[in-house]
């Protein structure tokens, strides 16, 4: 299967390496084209660098938008005509940094980032919020954990997006656990109770009330 990854910075590159190590074919695109090319060269034949964001989606079963929240809407608008029927995976936390270096939330308290992103997507796009539930460092060090895989939580309102993101999470070496619908995405973000946890499936399910 083939996945497009748009944005190959700290998180996008960590996701790309994990997916490639699980056998996924990747189409990479980034404003930082040099970074995308270096990453593809390190990954090997499983990763190709697309000409641009549009080209990245050619033949891809899903697209992961590993972008800062502030540029996310612009990229969705740019590739929107290709997103109908496509599984769109968004790991973005709604954060920015002020001139003093202080991190702040871009959305009002209680407003779900997933709902906001869903409102930006064209009709027919199939959204899952996933892969942004832990820091890139933790993600890198927790993939393919043995004997019990670590969990990655996701949130979606769309069954097909759910199946595809579960496949991607397993390919990356984690066990998927659904936290709930898109409105639950706040629990997955920085500051949410399910963020930055490296836990197994039983504990994860008890945290979301399934156990």
Ligand X SMILES: NC(=O)c1ccc[n+]([C@@H]2O[C@H](COP(=O)([O-])OP(=O)(O)OC[C@H]3O[C@@H](n4cnc5c(N)ncnc54)[C@H](OP(=O)(O)O)[C@@H]3O)[C@@H](O)[C@H]2O)c1
Q: How far apart are CA 7 and CA 131, in angstroms?
A: 13
Pick 98 or 159: Cβ nearer ligand X: 98
Closest of 66, 77, 81 to residue 129, by C-alpha: 66
- Least CB distance to ligand X at residue 67 (A): 5
The interface region with ligand X, picked from 4-12, 105-113, 140-148, 173-181 by CB under 6 A, is: 4-12
Pick 18 or 210: Cβ nearer ligand X: 18
Pick 91 or 114: Cβ nearer ligand X: 91
Pick 147 or 153: Cβ nearer ligand X: 153
Tokens coding 191? 């500051």
Q: How far apart are CA 56 and CA 59, in angstroms?
A: 8
By the rule CB under 6 A, 83 interacts with ligand X? no
Taking CB under 6 A as the criterion, the residue among 82, 92, 112, 113 binding ligand X is: 92
By the rule CB under 6 A, 112 interacts with ligand X? no
By the rule CB under 6 A, 35 interacts with ligand X? yes
Per DSSP, the residues of 86-147 read -EEEE---SEEE-TTS-EEESS-TT--HHHHHHHHSPTT-EEEEES-SS-HHHHHHHTT-SS
By the rule CB under 6 A, 31 interacts with ligand X? yes
By the rule CB under 6 A, 191 interacts with ligand X? no
Pick 63 or 204: Cβ nearer ligand X: 63
Q: How far apart are CA 153 and CA 41, in angstroms?
A: 30
Q: How many CB atoms lie within 10 A of CB 145?
A: 15
What contacts 180, CB < 8 A, 6 or more positions away? 155, 187, 208
Taking CB under 6 A as the criterion, the residue among 27, 69, 164, 186 binding ligand X is: 69
Which parts of this chain interact with ligand X (CB under 6 A)?
6-12, 29-32, 35, 53, 66-69, 71, 75, 91-93, 95, 132, 135-136
């Amino acid at each position: 299967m083939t996945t497009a990854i748009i944005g190959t910075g700290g998180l996008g590159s960590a996701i790309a390496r994990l997916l490639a190590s699980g056998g996924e074919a990747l189409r990479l695109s980034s404003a930082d084209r040099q970074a995308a090319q270096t990453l593809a060269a390190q990954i090997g034949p499983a990763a190709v660098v697309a000409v641009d964001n549009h080209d990245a989606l050619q033949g891809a079963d899903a697209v992961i938008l590993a972008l800062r929240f502030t540029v996310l809407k612009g990229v969705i608008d740019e590739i929107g005509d290709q997103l109908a029927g496509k599984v769109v995976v968004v790991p973005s936390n709604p954060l920015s940094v002020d001139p003093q270096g202080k991190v702040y939330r871009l959305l009002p308290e209680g407003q779900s980032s997933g709902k906001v992103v869903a409102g930006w997507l064209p009709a027919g796009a199939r959204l899952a919020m996933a892969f942004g539930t832990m820091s890139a460092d933790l993600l890198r060090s927790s993939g393919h954990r043995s004997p019990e895989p670590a969990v990655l939580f996701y949130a979606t309102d769309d069954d097909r997006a759910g199946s595809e993101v579960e496949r991607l999470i397993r390919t990356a070496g984690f066990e998927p656990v659904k936290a709930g619908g898109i409105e639950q995405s706040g629990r997955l973000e920085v500051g949410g109770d399910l963020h930055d946890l490296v836990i197994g499936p039983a504990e994860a399910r008890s945290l979301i009330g399934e156990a």
